[in-house]
């Protein structure tokens, strides 16, 4: 029998607010244990939580960026469970009235992943297990999270990968989270089941919690998919359970089974009042959202005529896109700007992280001024490239490196002279060209370029050279 | 009607141990408590919306960091601690 994967995702994203969700403690990552804590985030009796306005705003931004409806009225609930990472023995979350619902993200294969809801909640503390004891650090306790819950719409681990990458890019682009999986500011719980192709019913699902790497997540899904099919093919039954993914050997193993289903006894948190958002407020937030990476990508292709690969690279982060847009504003051919960024500026970035941050030694306007010199015919491409390198080395504008004579281009008479010299100095290349080796022309061209210090127009030089030696 | 199973489940969730001979008494007590609380459902109200009792909404704070408590204060009431961490000791 042929089976298909049915998978859904719950993604926790830490919001990049300065303070926690219900108190004014810092959300800064790291720091000595239990130094970002107060009676509110430690749940001392008699304390009163007060909702951070920015959390609501960021969550609405996240909702709008993933095509969600924003609820006019939502509320906070208590999710009760007893574990040392939660000093109050309940987590403040949203149960039946989440802030955002019914969104979606479209994948490149045309399939739509429906988002059931996005709700706001507090993160738990961090536990370090050592020698049978558990050490508790509550710095992370109370850091604001959004949980983005999809419908079971994934049919392959590749779709999961694309969705998570897209979500990550979008959240970073709109500036609500840094989505660093390795630091835990983005993590996923994955539900996995299989069913015969064509079946409408869902199989029994298992859940893998707290995945913080896309690579391991796709591996875990592929492993679990194969494991479940094996069980079914051998006449067995899938147990509904929570699994752990073992990174060392790529297998999954049981953490606890779900027969004794969680009973969180949700109820409204009486300390917190309703969140009422008007349509006008939602529209104001929508208007303030930056253009999303996907929209930019399409626009770069249609409006600027960029190849898809370039458009993709330039929309990897908001910093890159904004630099590109500022530098290509008013230039004839934005592709030149794209080439400068992708070819020369990216090469100076140490890694993907640095690329994303895109801290460039020159402002975008310097690059734009340089490209405008090319547009107006004052300089040629190779001079542009060498000048850009000097600019990037020094942080100075183009005018620092281009002399009057550089900017005046090459006089036609001089150019002819350069070409004649090149022909005279390279008899072998001339002979080769005459014998039918067209490549030999490159040697002559190079010689002319050198003589003109890169200022000559290569096409023009080729034309003159061919005229001279044909 | 509250059953023995309900009481055992709630006891488990609350990390309480209940002896067999206590079960009947607890079940009866809990049933009475639930019935008492249920009288609220008989109240004649116009709307079933369960809003906050003070009709308050949108009570927010601005996202401005204020000093946290010193960690000695935070840990002062902890039963056990080590290196700035709360310590949950191995059981048994």
User: Looking at residue A447, which CATH number applies to its domain?
Assistant: 1.10.10.410
B89 and chain A: CB distance < 8 Å anywhere?
yes
Strand A206-211 and strand A241-246: the pairing is parallel
Say what the pLDDT of residue B13 is. 80
CB count within 10 Å of CB A326 equals 14
**Confidence band for B48, pLDDT divided at 50, 70 and 90:** low
Q: Looking at per-residue confidence, does A463 or A139 come out higher?
A: A139
Per-residue confidence at A469, pLDDT binned at 50, 70, 90?
A: confident
Structure tokens at A24: 């004014």
Contact B88 A134 (CB under 8 A): yes
Task: State residue A262's pLDDT score.
Answer: 67
Angle subtended at Cα A60 by Cα A59 and Cα A64, rounded to the nearest 5 degrees = 120
CB A156 within 8 A of CB A137: no
Please name the residues in contact with A62: beta carbons below 8 A apart, sequence gap of 6 or more: A13, A100, A118, A146, A148, A171, A174, A176
Decide which of A263, A283, A303 is a domain's last residue.
A283
- Do both A310 and A431 map to the same domain? no
What domain range includes position A50? 3-283
Instruction: Return the minimum-mean-pLDDT range out of A203-212, A253-262, B4-13, B58-67.
Output: A253-262
Q: Considering CB atoms only, which of B15, B51, B69 is closest to A37?
A: B69
B47 touches chain A (CB under 8 A): no
**Minimum distance, in Å, between the CA of residue A23 and any CA atom of chain B:** 8
Taking domain B1-43, whether its CATH number is 3.50.50.60 is answered by no
User: Is the CB of B84 less than 8 angstroms away from the CB of A33?
Assistant: yes
Q: Report chain B residues whose CB lies below 8 A from the CB of A34.
A: 71, 74-75, 84-86
Interface contact A71, partner B, CB < 8 A: no
Give the mean pLDDT of A126-132: 90
Does A401 or A190 have the greater pLDDT score?
Answer: A190
CB contact under 8 A, A32 and B69: no
Whether residues A310 and A263 share a domain: the answer is: no
Give the one of B53, B60, B89 whose C-beta lies nearest to A133's C-beta: B89
B3 has pLDDT over 90: yes
Q: What is the pLDDT of residue B89?
A: 86
The total number of structural domains that make up chain A = 3
Out of A407, A435, A456, pick the residue that ends a domain: A407
Task: Inform me whether the C-beta atom of residue A126 falls under 8 Å from chain B C-beta atoms.
Answer: no
Q: For residues A257-274, give the mean pLDDT.
A: 79
The pLDDT score that the predictor gives to residue A73 is 93
Give the Cβ contact number of residue B28 at 10 Å.
12
Token pair recorded at residue B18: 């209940």
pLDDT confidence tier of residue A405, bands split at 50, 70 and 90:
low
- The Cα A41–Cα A24 span in angstroms is 9
pLDDT score, position A32: 95
Give A229 or A437, the one with higher predicted confidence: A229
Mean per-residue pLDDT, A187-192 = 96
Give A448's contacts (C-beta < 8 A, 6+ positions apart): A415, A418, A419, A422, A456, A461, A465
B71/A35 CB distance under 8 A: yes
Q: Identify all chain B residues contacting A124, using CB atoms and an 8 Å cutoff.
A: none
pLDDT band at A3 (very low <50, low <70, confident <90, very high): very high
Match 């985030």 to its residue by tokens: A41
pLDDT tier at B43, thresholds 50, 70, 90: confident
Q: What is the mean pLDDT of chain B?
A: 87
- From CA A42, how far away is CA A34, in angstroms rounded? 10
Chain A, chain B: beta-carbon pairs less than 8 Å apart: 110
- Is residue B74 within 8 angstroms of chain A, CB to CB? yes
How far separated are the first and last CA of chain B, in Å rounded? 38
pLDDT for A358 beyond 70? yes
In eight-state DSSP terms, residue B89 is: P
Residues ≥6 apart with Cβ < 8 Å to A277? A56, A60, A70, A71, A72, A73, A74, A99
What is the rounded CA–CA span in Å between residue A58 and residue A174?
9
Does B51 score more than 80 pLDDT? no
Q: Is A97 on the interface with B (CB under 8 A)?
A: no
In the block, tokens 């001024």 appear at A369
A220 and A343 inside one domain: no
Same domain, A169 and A237: yes
Same domain, A147 and A243: yes
Is B37's Cβ below 8 Å from some Cβ in A? Answer: no
Instruction: Report how far Cα B39 is from the mean position of its chain's Cα atoms.
Output: 22
Using 50, 70 and 90 to split pLDDT, how confident is the model at A467? confident
Q: Cα–Cα–Cα angle for B51, A74, B39, nearest 5°?
A: 30
Find out whether A373 and A332 touch, Cβ atoms under 8 Å.
no
**What confidence tens digit (pLDDT) does each residue in A12-68 have?**
999 999 999 999 999 998 889 999 999 999 999 999 999 999 999 999 999 999 999
Same domain, A191 and A168: yes
Residue of B nearest to A126 (CA): B85
Lowest mean pLDDT among A49-58, A281-290, A380-389: A380-389
Whether residue A260 is predicted with pLDDT greater than 60 in this model: the reply is: no
The pLDDT of residue B54 is above 70: no
Same domain, A175 and A80: yes
Q: Which of B65, B56, B77 is nearest to A39 (CA)?
A: B77
Give whole-number Cα distances, A461 to A381, A410, A458, A465, in Å. 14, 11, 5, 6
- Using a CB–CB cutoff of 8 Å, tell me whether A19 touches chain B: yes
A315 and A218 both lie in a single domain: no
Assess B49–A contact: CB distance below 8 Å, yes or no: no
* Residue of A37, A42, A51 lying closest to B60 (CB–CB): A51
Mean pLDDT of chain A: 92
CB distance from B73 to chain A under 8 Å? no
Average of per-residue pLDDT across B32-56: 76
Which residue of chain A is at minimal alpha-carbon distance from B78?
A136
Strand, coil or helix: what is B40? helix
pLDDT at residue A390 greater than cutoff 90: yes
Using the Cβ of B52 and the Cβ atoms of chain A, whether some distance falls under 8 Å is answered with yes
Q: A353 and A329, same structural domain?
A: yes
Using CA atoms, how far apart are residues A191 and A110, in angstroms rounded to an integer? 22
**Do A105 and A212 belong to one domain?**
yes
Please check whether residues A364 and A450 belong to one and the same domain. no
**Domain end position, chosen among A244, A267, A283:** A283
- Given B52, B62, B88, which is nearest A273 (Cβ)? B52
Read off the tokens for A409: 């281009």
pLDDT of residue A164: 97
Residues A140 and A183: their CA atoms lie apart, in Å, by 12
A309 and A396 share a domain? yes
């Amino acid at each position: 029998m042929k089976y298909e994967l049915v998978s859904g995702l719950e993604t926790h994203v830490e919001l990049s607010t300065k303070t926690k969700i219900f108190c004014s403690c810092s959300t800064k990552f790291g720091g000595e244990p239990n130094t970002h804590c107060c009676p509110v985030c430690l749940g001392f009796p008699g304390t009163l939580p007060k909702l951070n306005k920015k959390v609501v705003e960021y969550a609405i931004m996240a909702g709008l960026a993933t095509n969600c409806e924003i609820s006019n009225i939502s509320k906070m609930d208590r999710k009760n469970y007893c574990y040392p990472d939660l000093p109050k023995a309940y987590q403040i979350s949203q149960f039946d009235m989440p802030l955002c619902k019914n969104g979606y993200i479209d994948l490149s294969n045309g399939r739509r992943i429906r988002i059931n809801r996005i709700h706001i909640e507090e993160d738990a503390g961090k536990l370090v297990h050592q020698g049978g004891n558990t050490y508790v650090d509550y710095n992370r306790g109370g850091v604001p999270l959004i949980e983005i819950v999809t419908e079971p719409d994934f049919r392959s681990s590749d779709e999961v990968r694309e969705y998570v990458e897209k979500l990550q890019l979008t959240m970073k682009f709109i500036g609500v989270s840094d989505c660093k999986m390795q630091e835990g500011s983005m993590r996923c719980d994955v539900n996995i089941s299989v069913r015969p192709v064509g079946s409408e019913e869902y199989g029994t699902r298992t859940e893998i919690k707290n995945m913080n790497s896309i690579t391991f997540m796709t591996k875990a899904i592929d492993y679990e998919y194969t494991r479940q099919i094996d069980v079914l093919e051998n006449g067995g039954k899938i147990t509904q359970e929570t699994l752990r993914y073992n990174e060392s050997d790529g297998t999954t193993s049981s953490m606890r089974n779900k027969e004794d289903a969680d009973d969180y006894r949700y109820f409204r948190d009486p300390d917190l009042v309703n969140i009422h958002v008007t349509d006008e407020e939602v529209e104001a937030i929508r208007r303030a959202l930056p253009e999303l990476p996907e929209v930019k990508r399409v626009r770069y292709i249609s409006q600027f005529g960029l190849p898809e690969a370039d458009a993709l690279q330039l929309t990897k982060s908001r910093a890159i896109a904004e630099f590109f847009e500022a530098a290509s504003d008013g230039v004839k051919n934005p592709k030149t700007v794209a080439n400068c960024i992708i070819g020369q500026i990216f090469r100076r970035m140490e890694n993907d992280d640095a690329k994303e941050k895109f801290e460039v030694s020159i402002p975008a306007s310097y690059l734009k001024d340089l490209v405008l010199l090319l547009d107006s015919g004052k300089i040629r491409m190779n001079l542009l490239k060498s000048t850009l390198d000097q600019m990037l080395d020094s942080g100075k504008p183009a005018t620092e490196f281009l002399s009057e004579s550089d900017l005046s281009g090459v006089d036609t008479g001089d150019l002819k002279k350069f070409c004649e010299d090149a022909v005279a100095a390279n008899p072998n290349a001339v002979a080769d060209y005459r014998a039918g080796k067209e490549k030999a022309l490159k040697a002559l061209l190079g010689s002319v370029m050198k003589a003109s210090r890169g200022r000559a127009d290569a096409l023009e030089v080729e034309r003159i050279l061919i005229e001279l030696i044909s | 009607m509250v059953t023995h199973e309900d009481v055992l489940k709630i006891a488990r969730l609350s990390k309480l141990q209940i002896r067999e001979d206590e079960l009947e008494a607890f079940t009866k007590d809990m049933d009475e408590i639930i019935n008492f609380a249920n009288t609220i459902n008989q109240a004649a109200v116009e709307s079933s919306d369960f809003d906050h009792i003070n009709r308050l909404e949108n009570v927010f704070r601005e996202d401005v960091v204020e000093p946290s408590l010193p960690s000695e204060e935070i840990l002062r009431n902890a039963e056990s601690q080590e290196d700035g961490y709360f310590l949950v000791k191995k059981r048994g």
